[in-house]
Amino acid sequence: MDNGASSYRRFLDGDDNGIAEIVGDYKDGLILYLNGYVKNIFIAEDLTEDTFFKLLTKKPKFSGKSSFKTWLYAIGRNVAIDFIRKNSKTLNTPIEDLENYLSEEQSLEQSYIKEEQKLTVHKAMSELPTDYRTILWLVYFEGFSNKEVATILKKNDRQIVNLLYRARQSLKSKLEEEGFIYEEF
């Protein structure tokens, strides 16, 4: 499976169904991934739209050095980082929006992460530092390899191995505090 590369090639050749397939396949996962950076589901949705808009307008070249999904998530990460840099002083969510924010985030997560055990793990992950949460999400929920994660996060393979080990240990400790019974990660 080429993870969207053929759909992107079709889009570049003029078939608008290609981009529609990409949006359909990657939208939810990308929203949740970007939500890990901005901690606001509404902003994450906007950043996901911005990522797809970038594909539509700038039509960046996909070289095939990584999977299409890795490449797309790296673009999304760059969009999120640009947003955070530009808006770092104004990222607080008003109190009156919290109720809507939490209910929409939960419904999106519940549709994407269906098993109750995964919800518990996700909750524990939300309390982890951003680097840990990000690497665990990319490896275990999105299925990226260590090499692909290294590409997305702009780190070398050894840094990824160390970061993944520390993230797993931290998550394991957090889950044990909650009384969670788990099998081997």
Query: How far apart (Å, rounded) are the C-alpha atoms in residues 50 and 122?
Result: 25
pLDDT of residue 156: 93
DSSP 64: S
pLDDT of residue 106: 56
pLDDT of residue 90: 60
Query: How far apart (Å, rounded) are the C-alpha atoms in residues 182 and 92?
Result: 34
Q: Which of 94, 66, 81 is nearest to 3 (CA)?
A: 66
- Residues 38-52: pLDDT tens digits? 888 899 999 999 999
Structure tokens at 123: 């909750």
pLDDT of residue 148: 92
- Tell me if the pTM is above 0.75: no
Mean pLDDT for the stretch of residues 109-136: 73
Where do we find the tokens 């099998």? 183
- Residues 52-71: pLDDT tens digits? 999 999 999 988 888 899 89
Query: Has residue 94 got a pLDDT over 70?
Result: no
CB atoms within 10 A of CB 11: 20
Query: Has residue 111 got a pLDDT over 90?
Result: no
* Domains of the chain, earliest start first: 1-112 (1.10.1740.10), 114-185 (1.10.10.10)
Mean pLDDT for the stretch of residues 30-34: 92
DSSP 139: I
Q: Which of 39-43, 61-65, 121-125, 157-161 is least confident? A: 121-125
Query: Has residue 95 got a pLDDT over 50?
Result: no
Query: How far apart (Å, rounded) are the C-alpha atoms in residues 101 and 39?
Result: 10
